[in-house]
Structure 1
Amino acid sequence: MTKARVAILISGSGTNMAALVYAAKHPTCPYEVVLVASNNPDAAGLTLAAAEGIATFALSHHAMERETHDTAMDAAIRAAGADHVALAGYMRILTPGFVASWEGRMLNIHPSLLPKYKGLHTHQRALDAGDTAGGCSVHLVTAVLDDGPVLGQTEVAILPGDTSQTLAARVLIAEHQLYSRTLAGYVTRETDPDWIVAQIGAFALALPETDARPSHGAPGWRVGGEKTGKYFAYVSVHHHGEDAIALLVKTSGADEQASLIEADPDLYYLPKFYAPSGWIAIRLDTGRTDWSHIEDWLAKSWRAVAPKRLTKLIDVAAEF
């Protein structure tokens, strides 16, 4: 099993970081922690991470421009080879550029049942509102604070006589359970055939005059209408006995096929039966799919077979 590589950002003791690190020690865990980084060089969590043999990086944000600091953090994360970023008590508001560069690959844990109580003092706000339960949420990070899609939540009952401190202590236990479980599920979604097909379908059907139609047991997408439509994409899920989940798209022919495979043989290969007709296979089961690259390929393949009236309309629209 190829494990997803995760960098964790902390600012303090790093208890959620520790929960992720210890969950990763189980041999079936689908992720490994490759870096623990902090904006606080004195963060206790850095000592723990180093003791567990994990690379660390620390850079104080004091007297630094926010963008300069985020650029340095981003460089350290990428140098560690991380695929995902997990915020675990990282007490800095990230710049839009940093967030955009990790869109869909950065998670955060928040001590409330989002969308309730974004920001700080979540437990006291739940108590003041007379709620019967507090809790925690794991969500994707967006440029808006605590506003990304929620991936998982755990409710924690509020007991008679609870204070913000007693409630916080129980919510923290829930956080430790929820974060590792949600992260594991999220990093493995890109190897789930149903999820992959749904992603391809969303991109393909966003193109003009397309429809979905299976072909010989493989999901496929066409352009050009019910009677004259031509296929521009298939997803092969171990089709014809191949050991891969892959997107099949049109190329200009043998020369382009050969150059693609030569440039990246781990990503591209010649699909059985389709290769002589100029199709190339792009692996989708690595867990590290560049979806922007896939979206570009779908558009290119669509253009290769779309009726000229459609491509002309697209070209005219692009001029304005």
Structure 2
Amino acid sequence: MAEPRAKVAVFISGSGTNMAALLYASRLAACPFEIVLVLSNNPEAGGLRLAEAEGVPTFVLPHKGLPRADHDAAMEAHVRRAGAQWIALAGYMRILTPEFVARWEGRMVNIHPSLLPKYTGLHTHERAIAAGDSHAGCTVHLVTADLDEGPVLGQIPVAILPGDTPDTLAARVLFAEHQLYARCLADLVTRETDPTWLTGQVRSRAMQLPEAEESLSHGMACFGIVKGKKFAWVSADHHGDRKVALLVKISGPDEQEQLIESDPERFYRPAYFGDGWIAIRIDLGDVDWDDIGEWLRRSWLAVAPRKLAAMTEF
């Protein structure tokens, strides 16, 4: 059975060429996402006509006369109604409210026509040429409240040729944008089930704990206190169970039973680890990483020598 594809809503304001690139990429058999809705603040956006012709639902709401928060809320309501889990901005010429951005943190992406952090904002090609740069390019990044400053997911440099104008350069950068966006979006929507990425997320938090060290034990990434006990493991398809989970210390069988009963999809009893451990699935696509950090901290405290624990402030 094929894995379900991630549902993506695309926001546009104009011709929608990047939306089209995403849409046609999504028609390939191996693509892990599908475009379920195209939205715009501009009734004349050419991309709307293309989406409609390709059988993709559309929604348009002019922003003139509407408070920004109300416009965002109406757009978001349609995104959620369509079942979209991700938002891709593709030439959407509206600044979103910080509240909207916060609600979609880590799940909204944008493509920008420069090699960020260079040339945030507008007129990027003109600025790159004026600066005498050898290359311009494009960047796909996560959207944050700070304009064009979210974490970079990918970039492609594009050479600036002698005699280039902003228009000729923009035309070539657009080719790169069409290649880059679909690849970065595919990587993003699949990383929440990717054992390597998930292990890296656990590692970044576990290794912040005092005197933590990483090793490999029984084929699993393992975290312990230097010359001390282990406090966490990452199980990735261990014994063919097709799960990626964090294994941490708990108080005992009562807590283990309570956790499993509260959410049997997320919590389970790890084989060979006994009643003092719980497995927490981190491949379900909705991980609260702050919560995972707290589980790691608690597990570390359970095995830390008293002297080390007493010296540590959290």
TM-score (normalised: structure 1): 0.85
Number of the residue aligned with 1:51: 53
Number of the residue aligned with 2:255: 256
Shift of residue 307, structure 1, vs aligned partner: 4.6
> 2:288 aligned with 1:290, yes or no?
yes
> Structure 1 residues 307, 119: closer, same or farther in 2, change over 3 A?
same
Number of the residue aligned with 2:202: 200
1:32 is paired with a residue whose SS is: strand
Shift of residue 152, structure 1, vs aligned partner: 1.8
Residue identity in the other structure for 2:56:
I
Number of the residue aligned with 2:272: 273
1:29 is paired with a residue whose SS is: coil
Deviations 1:229-287 (A, max 9, x none): 3322110122233221211123333343334334433322222112x323222222344
Pairwise CA RMSD? 2.6
Aligned counterparts of 1:35 and 1:305: Cα–Cα separation in 2: 49
Q: Is the 8 A contact 2:269 2:275 kept in 1?
A: no
Deviations 1:185-218 (A, max 9, x none): 2322333322222210111122334332333332
Aligned counterparts of 1:202 and 1:145: Cα–Cα separation in 2: 26
State which of 99, 102, 112 in structure 2 corresponds to 1:100. 102
1:85 is paired with a residue whose SS is: strand
State which of 140, 143, 146 in structure 2 corresponds to 1:141. 143
Shift of residue 310, structure 1, vs aligned partner: 5.9
Shift of residue 35, structure 1, vs aligned partner: 2.5
Deviations 1:64-89 (A, max 9, x none): 22233333333433343333221110
> Structure 1 residues 52, 295: closer, same or farther in 2, change over 3 A?
farther
1:7 is paired with a residue whose SS is: strand
Residue identity in the other structure for 1:241:
G
Aligned counterparts of 1:75 and 1:305: Cα–Cα separation in 2: 46
Name stretches of at least 5 consecutive residues in structure 1 with no aligned partner. Answer: none
1:273 is paired with a residue whose SS is: coil
> Structure 1 residues 156, 215: closer, same or farther in 2, change over 3 A?
closer
> Structure 1 residues 285, 50: closer, same or farther in 2, change over 3 A?
same
Aligned length: 312
Residue identity in the other structure for 1:194:
T
Number of the residue aligned with 1:220: 222
> 2:131 aligned with 1:129, yes or no?
yes
Number of the residue aligned with 1:151: 153
Q: Is the 8 A contact 1:24 1:31 kept in 2?
A: yes
> Structure 1 residues 300, 155: closer, same or farther in 2, change over 3 A?
same
Name stretches of at least 5 consecutive residues in structure 2 with no aligned partner. Answer: none
Say which is worse superposed, 170-179 or 129-138, in terms of deviation: 129-138
> 2:230 aligned with 1:231, yes or no?
yes
Number of the residue aligned with 1:112: 114
> Structure 1 residues 151, 313: closer, same or farther in 2, change over 3 A?
same
Shift of residue 288, structure 1, vs aligned partner: 4.2
1:211 is paired with a residue whose SS is: strand
TM-score (normalised: structure 2): 0.87
Shift of residue 308, structure 1, vs aligned partner: 5.1
> Structure 1 residues 291, 47: closer, same or farther in 2, change over 3 A?
farther
Aligned counterparts of 2:35 and 2:255: Cα–Cα separation in 1: 38
Aligned counterparts of 1:5 and 1:129: Cα–Cα separation in 2: 40
Residue identity in the other structure for 1:291:
W
Q: Is the 8 A contact 1:83 1:288 kept in 2?
A: no
